Amino acid sequence: MVCLFTIVNLLNFRDLAEKEKIDNGDGKQKSNDLPKINLKQNLKEKYIFEENEESKNDDNNEDGDMNEETHYVGPTLAAAPHYDFPNVVRTNSIAKVFTPSFAAKYHHDSIDSLLASPSYDWCAPNWFIGSHGQGIIYNRIPKTASTSVGGIVHRIARNYAKQSGRECKVHAYHLPNFDVSRRFNNRDEDHSFFFSTIRNPAKRAISRYFFESKINSADRIIEALKSDVHHHYGLISAGLGGFQIAYMALSTPKSWSFWNSTHPAQVLNPGGLHAAVGQIVHDYDFIMLVERLDECFVILQLLLGMETHDVMFISSKSSQEHRLGRFGKNKKCVKVKKAPKEMSPVVQEYLESAEWYSKSYGDYLLIEAVNQSIDLTIDAIGQNKFDMALNKFREMKKLVDEKCASSAVFPCSKDGKIQEKEAKKNCYRVDLGCGYPCIDALFSES
């Protein structure tokens, strides 16, 4: 699909073309030269993706189009190993207080109002026909704690029945090939909660590599970090600003719009990329950050009016020695592979290079925008109220780990044998929420 990313009334590209080639000679940006945008509630009117039906399948093919655009002309951010992401987020007003889109329908004009009188009628029941864009919608980005969070989604949905009398509809699956746009671009915002999880791009990429490969070779790892652009199993995106923003965007731009190997240490069209990240923050009700997972579970609990035990879980990957590696007729268990705690100096050097930060610029910018948004949301909740909820969460989580982790049954046994029949009684779905009967029993009185 050919997508021409048009930004209305934001940038005069002709005047900024030279201005945004920022290089102080010390690898740092001049913050006052950053392209400035003002992200308001009318983002969907300002940032438009136009489609050319004749070239619908040309750009984002199944494996990531490797035909890079080598004749880019326009504003860029020049080589800088570490961009000033906090300043970019503040300058462009990208961060926000996370608030469910359904809140306005139920007359909640503030976080205080939402917490004081939670709404439960927004969520369509799981049997409701035509509820594709309703319910709890979780976009599961690979290698971002998505199995643990996916289990929590099913737990919340089932426990909603205690509040509303019906189990909530759930969409909690991976959405490869940029499928999130087709499925949820026109979701029912009054009857859905739309969220995702993200992670430091370097850690996610390394985790993805070792999830699939046993070869701990610096050359092989760097080769993958430079070229593996598969839309689902990949480590990076095809010049789309980062794997995670490409996976999350409700409108995906043309491949190589924001980075290519002809300009390896530059961000192409930074203003457009800033707007794309701002659009993602606007479109999602909540975005969780793996590096602040405890805090995010508490925010999720409070935004949805749930109890602390509703967001309890047993970490699946850390508790399993084997996992289901294949499905269907060739179904089998494979040993869980984990990334080494330390990378070789050569790999670490690449992950700190201007090239890596430039090709992953959008992901790092989104990480910072979410980081600031989490802080704003905690401020809106109230620091004291939030700290009490966080302490309670951590106390309960410690109890769950002590009492339930060893008894949880997963689809694969510790010695690598399939035990799906036993797991069906212990997990919500496949390997999601395994161990929930023990957690239920532990907090049955509450």
pLDDT in tens, 1-12: 333 333 333 333
Up-side HSE of residue 373: CA atoms within 13 Å toward CB?
Answer: 27
Q: Average pLDDT, stretch 143-166?
A: 90
Q: Which of 54-68, 252-266, 374-388, 428-442 comes out lowest in average pLDDT?
A: 54-68
Q: Is the pLDDT of residue 63 over 60?
A: no
What's the pLDDT score for residue 131?
Answer: 57
Q: Average pLDDT, stretch 164-193?
A: 88
Between 315 and 300, the higher pLDDT residue: 300
Alpha-carbon gap, residue 213 to 208, rounded angstroms: 9
pLDDT digit string (tens) for 124-141?
A: 887 765 657 899 999 999
Q: Is the pLDDT of residue 355 over 90?
A: yes
**172 bridge partner residues:** 138
Give the tokens for residue 89.
């987020």
What's the pLDDT score for residue 67?
Answer: 54
What's the pLDDT score for residue 97?
Answer: 97
φ, ψ for residue 333 (rounded to 5)? -95, 140
Give the tokens for residue 37.
């945008």
What's the pLDDT score for residue 48?
Answer: 27
DSSP codes joined into one string, 221-290: HHHHHHH---TTT-SS-SSSS-HHHHHH-SS---TTSS--TTSTT-EESHHHHHHHHHHHHHH-SEEEEG
Confidence of residue 70 (pLDDT cuts 50, 70, 90): very low
Q: Under DSSP, is residue 140 helix (H, G, I), strand (E, B) or coil?
A: coil
Please name the residues in contact with 246: beta carbons below 8 A apart, sequence gap of 6 or more.
Answer: 178, 231, 237, 238, 240, 252
Alpha-carbon gap, residue 88 to 32, rounded angstroms: 10
Give the DSSP H or E segment for 76: strand 76-77
Alpha-carbon gap, residue 326 to 13, rounded angstroms: 49
Q: Average pLDDT, stretch 82-94?
A: 91
Between 324 and 248, the higher pLDDT residue: 248
Q: Which of 51-65, 122-136, 223-237 comes out lowest in average pLDDT?
A: 51-65
What's the pLDDT score for residue 446?
Answer: 55
φ, ψ for residue 74 (rounded to 5)? 160, -175
Confidence of residue 42 (pLDDT cuts 50, 70, 90): very low
Please give the single-letter amino acid code of residue 318.
S
Confidence of residue 28 (pLDDT cuts 50, 70, 90): very low
- The number of residues making up the chain comes to 446
Q: Is the pLDDT of residue 32 over 50?
A: no
Average pLDDT, the chain: 82
Residue 402 CB burial class (10 angstroms; 0-12, 13-18, ≥19): exposed
Alpha-carbon gap, residue 410 to 438, rounded angstroms: 13
Q: Is the pLDDT of residue 434 over 90?
A: yes
What is the residue whose two structure tokens read 């969780």? 288
Residue 36 DSSP code: P
| Cβ neighbour number for residue 168 with a 10 Å cutoff | 27
Closest CA to 148 of 436, 385, 372: 436
Alpha-carbon gap, residue 94 to 445, rounded angstroms: 43
Alpha-carbon gap, residue 14 to 208, rounded angstroms: 40
Please give the single-letter amino acid code of residue 396.
M
Please give the single-letter amino acid code of residue 189.
E
Q: Is the pLDDT of residue 31 over 50?
A: no
What's the pLDDT score for residue 309?
Answer: 96
Between 318 and 366, the higher pLDDT residue: 366
Residue 143 DSSP code: T
Q: Is the pLDDT of residue 80 over 60?
A: no
Q: Average pLDDT, stretch 20-47?
A: 35
Q: Average pLDDT, stretch 262-274?
A: 92
Alpha-carbon gap, residue 387 to 446, rounded angstroms: 21
Q: Is the pLDDT of residue 233 over 50?
A: yes
Between 180 and 18, the higher pLDDT residue: 180
What's the pLDDT score for residue 356?
Answer: 95
What is the residue whose two structure tokens read 């995106």? 237
